[in-house]
Amino acid sequence: MQHKVIDIKDVVIRFAGDSGDGMQLTGTLFADTSALYGNEISTFPDYPAEIRAPHGTISGVSGFQVHIGSEGVNTPGDFCDVLVAMNPAALKANVKWAKPTATIIIDTDTFDEQGLKKAGFTTDDPITELHIEDRNVICAQITSLTKESLKDSGLDPKSIVRSKNMFTLGMCFFMFNRPLEYINAYLEKKFSKKPHLIEPNKKVLFDGYNYASNIHAIANTYEVAPAKQEKGIYRNINGNQATAWGLIAAAEKSGLQLFCGSYPITPATAILEELAIHKNLNVKTMQAEDEIAGICTAIGAAYAGDFAVTSTSGPGLSLKSEALGLAMITELPLVVIDVQRSGPSTGIPTKTEQTDLAQALYGRNGECPVCIVAAHSPSNCFDAAFNAGKLALEHMMPVILMSEGFIANGSEPWKIPSMADFPAIKPPFIESCEGGFKPFERDPETFVRKWAVPGKKGLNHRVGGLEKNPAGVISSDPENHARMVAARAEKIARVAECIPEQKVIGAAEGDVLVVGWGGTFGHLFTAVNELAAEGHKVSLAHFDYINPLPKNTAEIFAKFKKIIVCELNSGQFADYLRARLPQFSYLQYNKVQGQPFIVKEVVDAIREIL
Amino acid sequence: MKYTAQDFKSNQEVRWCPGCGDHAVLAALQRALPQVSEDLGYELEKFVVVSGIGCSSRLPYYMNTYGFHSIHGRATAISTGIKVANPELCVWQACGDGDALAIGGNHFIHAIRRNVDLNIVLFNNQIYGLTKGQYSPTSKFGTITKTSPYGTVENPFTPGMLVLGAHGTFFARGIDNDLALNQSIFITAAKHKGTSVCEMLTNCVIFNDGAHAAFAARENRAEHTITLRDGQKMLFGANNDKGLILKDGKLAVAKIGEDGVTLDDILTHHTDSDDIGLQSMLIDMKYPDMPVALGVIRDVKDKTYDINVQDQVNDVTAKAKVHCVDDLLRSGSTWEVK
């Protein structure tokens, strides 16, 4: 067979296996080495809720999709060019994500009677049963080959079998002409604390590489050239890590200690974990006894003068609702991060959705608006967290930062910024005052109150959940209550003066304005670009600031014939826009499947209204 | 002394019912704090008083200190956040039996488990007062209230037993109108490093009048309570001639001079003893069989959470190679595009 190296712009690879097969690691390694090579990347981990779901079953299948390319990689890709399936269940669950032209690699050692039965196959020929006879299916005895490769490694049998993911990775490296020096250096660094694992990992990976080269079943290998990137230092970053770092950055810029009180919850836990590592950067973390204690310890820390944050996901935000109201009425700075997941209730906890927006907007008792910002990509979580911190600290208010599982776990290369390029954060501290401190006296421009931190002489005051007058004295006077409710709302409305104007991607006027927010950016951007390239007058307005809305929003909307709001819920942002800007009519494209958009479906939806 | 009780009084009108036990507890606290300030070197602005929701949780408004009147049950979590953020503050917390032990029970036991350096004043009137008379987690079995018109059918908590169950380091108990004892309890609590739980047996004149009266009323107090003092014999009675002895592994009341019992046979109280068995027997003594124990029952040394957190931050910082966010962003695996 003639072997050809074909240059391609981008390629999508999906690694799928049992949740114990190390597919997340395999995918991450492939992504990291591709990023080191200079490709653009975008990743999408798609894993089950159970740590070790029943072995070999569909429910236990864990997937990791990597999109690499030399340009235009904005999403992890809709469908894959290569599917690696480590067992029958992985094949069955993921074949729908494979392009008709895809190459499929399977570990035939796992395709025995028992494995096929567990995956729900009714015949002993899964290829025919799945109607993929015409695909390029590469059947490799990956488990046996791995055992053979490592028989003299000194590793125990369990560790040897576990290394089959590295064999597979080696095969993929061959297919995509990945330079092996990157993986060599990478493995040496990764296992620097377990040096006895370096050589076995290298060996099994190279054996996989050579195996793929020798079997001649892979007709073509592919070259994905490095991207033309801006000069600078780069790293890979996922959304949760970027969020944690953005918070640390805001603490540094404000000169305050960062306090994080949180309770573990998927998919937000990694934020608390990441912050817990960086105690050297003036960070205190507390794993609280529950979600409520998470936010309440943070509120206490805010009262004491810290930059306080609490991270959670939808069900945790529900539990924090009452305390969030307390932070709002006491006008203390606080960032609440909601890494959204599929709901309601426990829902599908490892899957992504944008279904908490209504909760964030309205989910509290009383008149209780809060500022809401959203992150739109893994690396953008850094800026979004920084901005959320700046707004909270300078406006003395809680801010909800909306993230979502898709960008929280997904990763992409990030050109590392310099902190010198970020603005200062100046909280409205008060050092002293004459005649007694009045906690709810406001700046006439911004409506922001002063922050008097315990320990400051002469500023003793009381705050609390009861309605107060501007002097801080409890008041149930009807007129005072009305004034305080209006003032607190006005304070948030005036944040619009401090946030950037909304940008339009594409022409400033046209036939269709696609409106989105949060982690759908990559898909919507790609869809709009595709249609614009065909000559359609389609633009995108993707919102990072939800409450308040940027002040030019109506101006933008007025310049398009149709507006379509695309979101991973049943229309929560659309409903909000209808309430805020009722002069426009809004079409919707929604998906509530616990899965991100597919570019094609968005393109089709827009095409339908063109 | 630099301060007087007056310095700790705010200008707010105290709105508890006339005759409510909370008035006396507030007075004892305001009298204790000048001494606390003197002994521990806290300026007035270093005091923070936190509360949840309930009658007793109005207390921060009556103190001329920094104060935070929060939400139901959550005072302990908010106090914890304040103290961890700034361990140099002297943090006090006022909470009721419903607030701290029902809706806030989780935060209460976990603060004690962590040994956060908080001074918790637990007002135990065995009733929900602010919501007008429903039973609480400390109401006696069978208590008739608006939500238990036929009597409760559940056992109450003994708060001190929860403290011991969480390996708490400080527990004291006082009767609301015993200002001298309560004042000394608060001063000892403030000096204690860790979570100090001071249970105040308070009387709700409206919804649960006389709940503690059988032993707490002034005429019953000598015979039915015992005030424990560190290093002293466990004696009580109108003539101070009764004492506690250990008999068959259990506490028993003995009278000096009867059955050959002498002063030597009477147990001596040690607040710093780690004999949790004896302390639990003391805390669990119930009227009418035994005298109810008052005073500081347990005061043992252990590391505090707030200081442990700070020490770890200092330790990690001293060893770290990353000192700012710019360093952090460039740490680990990076590559350069030229």
> What DSSP line would sit under A276-297, residue for residue?
HHTGGGTEEEEE-SSHHHHHHH
Summarize the confidence of residues B108-131 as an average pLDDT. Answer: 97
Summarize the confidence of residues A74-89 as an average pLDDT. Answer: 94
Which residue of chain B is at minimal alpha-carbon distance from A242?
B329
| Beta-sheet strands, E only, within A427-571 | 462-464, 510-517, 538-543, 545-547, 560-567
Encoded tokens for B60: 């921060």
How far B243 CA sits from the closest chain A CA (Å)?
A: 41
Confidence of residue B83 (pLDDT cuts 50, 70, 90): very high
Confidence of residue A1 (pLDDT cuts 50, 70, 90): very low
CA–CA separation, B265 vs B253, rounded Å? 11
pLDDT at A531 over 80: yes
ipTM of the complex: 0.98
pLDDT at B48 over 50: yes
Listed residue (A543, A554, A552) closest to A501, CA to CA: A552
Summarize the confidence of residues B45-73 as an average pLDDT. Answer: 97
How far B245 CA sits from the closest chain A CA (Å)?
A: 40
Q: Where in chain A is the domain with CATH 3.40.50.970?
A: 236-421
Q: Where in chain A is the domain with CATH 3.40.50.920?
A: 510-609
How does strand B90-96 pair with strand A258-262? unpaired
Q: Is the pTM of this model over 0.90?
A: yes
Q: What is the pLDDT of residue A126?
A: 93
CA–CA separation, A213 vs B252, rounded Å? 86
How does strand B127-128 pair with strand A538-543? unpaired
| Alpha-carbon torsion (A71, A74, A80, A83), positive or negative | positive
Instruction: Indicate the residue of A231, A300, A304 with minimum beta-carbon distance to B337.
Output: A231
| Partners of residue A252 in chain B, C-beta under 8 Å | 324-325
Range from A10-19, A212-221, A328-337, A521-530 carrying the lowest mean pLDDT:
A212-221
Range from A108-122, A205-219, B58-72, B133-147 carrying the lowest mean pLDDT:
A205-219
Summarize the confidence of residues A472-477 as an average pLDDT. Answer: 95
Confidence of residue A602 (pLDDT cuts 50, 70, 90): very high
Q: What is the pLDDT of residue B294?
A: 98
| Partners of residue A421 in chain B, C-beta under 8 Å | none
How far B145 CA sits from the closest chain A CA (Å)?
A: 27
Asked whether the beta carbons of B111 and B74 are under 8 A apart, the reply is no
| Alpha-carbon torsion (A304, A307, A311, A314), positive or negative | positive
Span A236-421 CATH architecture: 3-Layer(aba) Sandwich (3.40)
Summarize the confidence of residues A27-54 as an average pLDDT. Answer: 84
Alpha helices in A396-477 (DSSP H): 405-409
Span A4-224 CATH architecture: 3-Layer(aba) Sandwich (3.40)
**What are the b/e assignments for A41-78, b being 16+ CB within 10 Å?**
bbbbbbbbeeeebeebbbebbbbbbbbbbbeebbbbbb
| Partners of residue A465 in chain B, C-beta under 8 Å | 53, 69-71
| Alpha-carbon torsion (B198, B204, B205, B211), positive or negative | negative
Q: What is the pLDDT of residue A2?
A: 57
Summarize the confidence of residues B68-89 as an average pLDDT. Answer: 98
pLDDT at A3 over 80: no
pLDDT at A186 over 90: no
| Partners of residue A292 in chain B, C-beta under 8 Å | 74, 77, 107
Question: Could you tell me which residues are beta bridge partners of residue A44?
Answer: A65
| CATH number, span B5-211 | 3.40.50.970
Q: How many CA atoms lie within 13 A of A34 on its CB side?
A: 35
Q: Where in chain A is the domain with CATH 3.40.920.10?
A: 4-224
CB burial class (10 A; 0-12, 13-18, 19+) of residue A287?
Answer: middle
Determine the residue among A306, A364, A421, A460 to mutate to test chain B binding: the one whose Cβ has the most chain B Cβ atoms within 10 Å. A460
pLDDT at B64 over 50: yes
| pLDDT single digits (tens) A126-174 | 999 999 988 889 999 999 999 999 999 888 999 899 999 999 999 999 9
The mean pLDDT of chain B is 97
Span A510-609 CATH architecture: 3-Layer(aba) Sandwich (3.40)
The mean pLDDT of chain A is 94
Determine the residue among A37, A181, A238, A280 to mutate to test chain B binding: the one whose Cβ has the most chain B Cβ atoms within 10 Å. A280
Summarize the confidence of residues B166-193 as an average pLDDT. Answer: 98
Summarize the confidence of residues A66-94 as an average pLDDT. Answer: 93
Residue with tokens 């949740």: A19
CA–CA separation, B9 vs B1, rounded Å? 16
Q: Given an 8 Å threshold on Cβ–Cβ distance, is A456 in contact with B45?
A: yes
